[in-house]
Amino acid sequence: MSLKDQITEDMKSAMRAKEVDRLGTIRMLLAALKQKEVDERITLDDAAVVAIVDKQIKQRKDAHQQFHAAGRMDLADKEAAEIVVLEAYLPQRLSADEITAAVKAIVAELGAAGPGDMGKVMGAVKQRLAGKADMGLVSAAVKAALAG
């Protein structure tokens, strides 16, 4: 079963269980998936679905920070709950140590040195670690590897 099919099944089970908040989050995710398919006239594979889920989580985290800073804890809690629902659709994430090791291996493989090679290294890292790692942590690991 593809990831998109799993999300659709989860929507149906949320409807049956009358889980309103979870259902709303899943519907927003399905709308984002459908929008991407319509805009680009493609059928999404699991990798593309994971990328969209990752983007949705990033948006929720940004909104959570903004609401938290503004003192709107009710809305911040809603965003946090949506993040939990969305994270269920991501593959197992790499730990910080695993990210650092993978980045160092890629830097060595490319022979990159210095901050000027950041773009080249990030391109290679994104291909290999897409959906498996938080890109914020990856970016920090790349900067550290190229600085030292």
- Taking residues 57-70, what's their average pLDDT? 95
Residue 105: per-residue pLDDT: 86
DSSP 76-102: HHHHHHHHHHHHTTSPPPPPHHHHHHH
Lowest mean pLDDT among 9-18, 30-39, 84-93: 84-93
What distance in Å separates the CA atoms of residue 73 and residue 25, rounded to the nearest whole number?
A: 18
Q: How do residues 80-133 score in pLDDT, each as one tens digit?
A: 999 999 999 988 888 888 888 888 888 888 877 777 778 888 888 888 887 778
CB 36 within 8 A of CB 75: no
Q: Bigger pLDDT: 131 or 7? A: 7
- Taking residues 6-14, what's their average pLDDT? 96
φ and ψ of 63, to 5 deg: -65, -40
Name all domains of the chain by residue range, CATH numbers in brackets: 3-87 (1.10.1510.10), 96-147 (1.10.10.410)
**Average pLDDT value over all residues in the chain:** 89
Residue 107: per-residue pLDDT: 83
What distance in Å separates the CA atoms of residue 134 and residue 148, rounded to the nearest whole number?
A: 22
Residue 117: per-residue pLDDT: 79
Q: Structure pTM?
A: 0.76
DSSP designation for 133: S
